[in-house]
Amino acid sequence: MKNFPLWLGLAVFFSFASISAFSQERCAMEAYMEEMMQDPEYVRQYEENQRAFKKRLAERLNNSEFMQRGGTIEIPVAVHFPEASEAERSCLEALAQNQIDILNADYSATNADISSWNAVSAQFPGTTAGVANIQFCIATSNHPTGLDPELLEGNPCITIGYNFGGGNNIDGNWSGYLNFVIRNIGALGFSPLGGSVAAGQAVTMDNNAFGSGVGCTSVVPSAPYNLGRTTTHELGHFFNLRHTFNGDGGGVCGGAGDGIADTPEVANSTYGCPSPLSVNSCTFGQPALIMNYMDYVNDACMYMFSQGQMTVAEAWVNILETSFKPNVCQPATPGFNLAATSDTELLTCPTTDTEAIYNFSYTTTLGFSETTTFSATGLPAGATTTFSPTSLNSDGTFSLTIGNLGATALGTYNITVTATSTPSGVEETIDVVLNNNCTEIVCTDYPSTSGDLPLTITDGLPGGGVGTPVASTILNIPDSGLIESMTVTVDITHTYVQDLVLQLVHPDGTTFMNLWAQDCGSENNLTNITFDDNASPYSCPGGTTTNIENLTIAPNGSLSTFTGLDAQGDWTLFVLDTYQADTGQLNAWSIEICTEQALSVTDFELSDLRVYPNPNNGSFNVGFSPKSGEDISIEVYDIRGRALYSKTYGSVSRFDEVIQLNNADSGVYLLSIADGSQKVTKKIVVK
């Protein structure tokens, strides 16, 4: 979570909007770092890494140390395509490998066009083509589980449709890998300057600037950035390499360039594909090293690093080396994976529940056929466990039932499920949570009743830039409670939605995230759009006549930014327009907040209450003798408090009805029975 002042957050997005409102930028590293350096924790870690880097670089610049470089460092890679479809997997796997082959050639100076250096090298005394003692490989074994069901052990570590970091550039699930994220962005690419493998940071590339060749349906390398060199450039930033020039237009000499001795200082970046010796450096008579990967020329005209740059890159890789996930580039060995197929946190109450049920999948790899048995630890005292089935020797599902909960103490229990094979003793574990605290997740919708709606959105500036004053509106949430999850729904009339940035700010005035940040293009309107972290990223259809309406999609950022904060207070929605001409208004918006609250318990005894069968297949009977003489209501909620069934019945002397839950998944549900003003809540289990 980033916590920084609201005005500063807006300033960051003014900068971002003005960048991406223009034609696609070559590199957005500096804009990205400007944003990240507002986070004090990020700054602290960045400065710590830079101190370690400077020490290591000084050691490498010692000639005797440099000559003892040791073995090649293997760097495991994971590639993520959040906006692609599973139907493209074979093509995307080939494209990812194509890009890795390009990186291996470029960083070892074995690329075919390095021969062009021979004709001009005499004009660059003291500069040689750089070779790094590193090797990139796409991981093939020991993949993270439970993130992408199609990411199979033994296959390349490539996710498709997985929303890496909730749309951000960092995802702790992928710590240990050099991550590449390929999606539609407002620049050709960006990367942290000096990236962290331990934190799960990524090099993010536009889907028109990754790999070479004809590409795939959703990722198409486009000239003049279609030879994979833009990825080479952005990865250079991850390895702490700066641009070789002082400015991207308006630059002057005297800025020291990238600070590396064998790359001549240059005032400005170079675009296109000029003659290799036609651009001057800041040293009289010395041409600029425009063919360097850290300049801005077309892919076809950049072909080398200097050895000084590769010394910097190797020094950075050295401080990352202990963070790389080991042995994942080796061929996968036969084994199995575990994944939870239902919510890994269940809410129970000893006074009303007797059991909790968790469901898992068991997936074998490379023909593994040993018998695997299951066990669990971390249970509340007095609880019992039953696995069904107790073992598996092929792909399948199994469940864990924790019973006798009426005899257990309140508390939150982290339960570890262990699967062990015989005779090899292959072992895997997965953790689930039992929230045995008599609570439930209750979701409440808060529609805006602000008198400023509909709210006119201030038009952007000519040529690009955020229009001011920025349109904003407030929604007050009167109820206190720690946020467990939330969704936001907006209704906006506006042509060309790529102009828009929607920023939601918590009542604390410092915590914020982006619901929409110049996503899509010439499509119109955001009509009844719900942003939900659990939804899939939106695949923009394109077209000036296309309307975006009646959808639930993943936000640009992550609403989990607000998890654990108090919901109460004034929430602010800022609506920024980044380009002149297209206008519109915010018609309505709402926030649904889910909080954990005390479980509704029996306020009275329903005479002869029977709920059967339980567990069931989604169809069950409710029977009792009403006493109030008023209407009877039956409601069913999932464990997160979302309504699945609601019906009101007239008063009867004996209530006996079949409740049918259509298309209910396996899991635990809350059944609420109200006889007039009296109410009781029961748990039901659907298998």
418 and 535 belong to one structural domain: no
431 and 506 belong to one structural domain: no
550 and 457 belong to one structural domain: yes
Cα–Cα distance measured from residue 138 to residue 147, given in angstroms and rounded to the nearest whole number = 17
Q: Which residues pair with 107 in a beta bridge?
A: none
Q: Cis omega (within 30 of 0) on the bond before 423?
A: yes
378 and 314 belong to one structural domain: no
Could you tell me which residues come within 8 angstroms of residue 653 by beta carbon, excluding any fewer than 6 positions away? Answer: 625, 626
Domain count, the chain: 4
Mean pLDDT in runs of 10 for the chain (687 residues)?
34 37 66 83 84 83 52 94 94 97 97 96 95 95 86 91 87 95 91 94 96 95 96 97 92 88 94 93 93 96 96 92 91 86 82 87 90 96 96 96 92 95 94 88 90 95 88 94 93 95 93 91 94 89 90 91 92 94 95 83 61 86 86 82 84 90 80 81 80
Give the CATH number for residue 383: 2.60.40.10
218 and 239 belong to one structural domain: yes
611 and 593 belong to one structural domain: no
> Counting runs of H as helices and runs of E as strands, what totals does the chain give?
8, 34
Give the CATH number for residue 51: 3.40.390
pLDDT score, position 611: 85
Q: Are 257 and 245 in contact (CB under 8 A)?
A: yes
pLDDT score, position 287: 95
pLDDT score, position 389: 97
Whether residue 265 lies inside any domain: the answer is no
Is 630 a catalytic site residue?
no
398 and 535 belong to one structural domain: no
593 and 614 belong to one structural domain: no
Cα–Cα distance measured from residue 185 to residue 207, given in angstroms and rounded to the nearest whole number = 8
538 and 616 belong to one structural domain: no
Residue with tokens 């692609």: 84
Whether residue 402 lies inside any domain: the answer is yes
- Backbone φ and ψ for 510, nearest 5 degrees, come out as -125, -25
Choice among 35, 83, 93, 234 that is catalytic: 234
Give the CATH number for residue 541: 2.60.120.260
Which long-range contacts link 89-96 to residues 24+ away (Cβ below 8 Å)? 89/150, 89/158, 89/160, 91/216, 91/217, 92/158, 92/160, 92/216, 92/219, 93/155, 93/156, 93/158, 95/210, 95/211, 95/213, 95/215, 95/216, 95/219, 96/138, 96/156, 96/158, 96/180, 96/211
616 and 536 belong to one structural domain: no
**Residue 435 three-state SS:** strand
Domain range spanning residue 364? 335-437
Q: Are 505 and 475 in contact (CB under 8 A)?
A: no
The model scores a pTM over 0.85? no
Tokens linked to 226? 């279609």
Query: Among 296, 323, 350, where does a domain finish?
Result: 323
What angle separates helix 229-238 from helix 89-108, to the nearest 10 degrees?
Answer: 70
Whether residue 108 lies inside any domain: the answer is yes
Per-residue exposure over 509-518, b if at least 16 CB sit within 10 Å of its own CB, e if not: eebbbbbbbb
Give the CATH number for residue 652: 2.60.40.3080
- Backbone φ and ψ for 649, nearest 5 degrees, come out as -120, 150
583 and 628 belong to one structural domain: no
186: left (phi over 0), alpha (psi -120 to 50) or beta: alpha
Whether residue 294 lies inside any domain: the answer is no
* Segment holding 402, helix H or strand E: strand 396-403
**Alpha carbon 658 to chain centroid distance?**
42
Query: Among 551, 576, 598, where does a domain finish?
Result: 598
Q: Are 560 and 511 in contact (CB under 8 A)?
A: no
Whether residue 256 lies inside any domain: the answer is no
CA angle in degrees (0–180, nearest 5) for 440-446-449 = 165
What angle separates helix 40-60 from helix 307-320, to the nearest 10 degrees?
Answer: 120
pLDDT score, position 365: 82
Q: Which residues pair with 356 in a beta bridge?
A: 402
544 and 431 belong to one structural domain: no
What ranges make up the beta strands (E) of 147-244?
158-160, 178-183, 189-190, 202-206
**Alpha carbon 640 to chain centroid distance?**
22
Whether residue 277 lies inside any domain: the answer is no
508: left (phi over 0), alpha (psi -120 to 50) or beta: alpha
Cα–Cα distance measured from residue 651 to residue 669, given in angstroms and rounded to the nearest whole number = 25
Could you tell me which residues come within 8 angstroms of residue 658 by beta carbon, excluding any fewer than 6 positions away? Answer: 619, 620, 621
Tokens linked to 12? 């960051």
Whether residue 464 lies inside any domain: the answer is yes
Whether residue 296 lies inside any domain: the answer is no
Query: Among 437, 460, 482, where does a domain finish?
Result: 437
